[in-house]
């Protein structure tokens, strides 16, 4: 594992924690999961923004999504997934080493799942409801 930034929690992860990996990225369970099986896909190189990754690193991140999905399904029975990246402090990024969230979802885990990630801006989320 790269030790590019020893102050970064993703730069010091031991490979025994990996649930999947490829040339430039690895996947680990989220340390603060919002759902059982919540997994992060992280590039080995310390880069803050997805937009600063190389094309190969971006492809490696995306290609691990299928591996992570298979891994989650071995121990969980999700009904769906949210997949996303918080890029920048204003977007909610708290660890400034880019990482992609794969969050398993289950029927009934929220009252009304419509809108999914749109709820980051609650006034914009219920676009299907003319009353808002």
Alpha-carbon distance of 78 to 107, in angstroms, equals: 8
Of 90 and 125, the structure prediction assigns the larger pLDDT to: 90
Q: What is the CA radius of gyration of the chain?
A: 16
- Looking at residue 110, its pLDDT comes to 86
Provide the pLDDT confidence category of residue 1 given band limits of 50, 70 and 90.
Answer: very low
Q: Note the CATH number of domain 15-120.
A: 3.30.428.10
Alpha-carbon distance of 90 to 16, in angstroms, equals: 32
Provide the pLDDT confidence category of residue 3 given band limits of 50, 70 and 90.
Answer: low
Dump pLDDT digits (tens) for 37-90. Answer: 999 999 999 999 999 999 999 999 999 999 999 999 999 899 999 999 999 999
Cite the active site residues: 99
Alpha-carbon distance of 91 to 68, in angstroms, equals: 24
Structure tokens at 94: 């708290």
Write down the pTM of the prediction.
0.90
Q: Where are the domains of the chain?
A: 15-120
Structure tokens at 59: 């492809």
Q: What are phi and psi of 17, to 5 degrees?
A: -85, -10
Sheet-wide strand order for 25-29: 20-21, 25-29, 39-43, 100-105, 80-84
């Amino acid at each position: 594992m790269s030790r590019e930034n020893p102050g970064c929690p993703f730069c010091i992860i031991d490979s025994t924690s990996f649930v999947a990996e490829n040339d430039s990225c690895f996947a680990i369970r989220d340390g603060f999961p919002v759902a059982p099986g919540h997994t992060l896909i992280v590039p080995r190189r310390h880069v803050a923004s997805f937009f600063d990754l190389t094309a190969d690193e971006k492809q490696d991140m995306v290609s691990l999504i299928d591996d992570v999905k298979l891994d989650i399904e071995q121990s969980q029975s999700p009904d769906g997934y949210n997949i996303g990246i918080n890029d920048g402090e204003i977007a909610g990024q708290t660890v400034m080493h880019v990482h992609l969230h794969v969050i398993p979802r289950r029927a009934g885990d929220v009252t009304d799942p419509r809108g999914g990630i749109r709820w980051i801006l609650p006034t914009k989320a219920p676009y299907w409801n003319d009353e808002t």
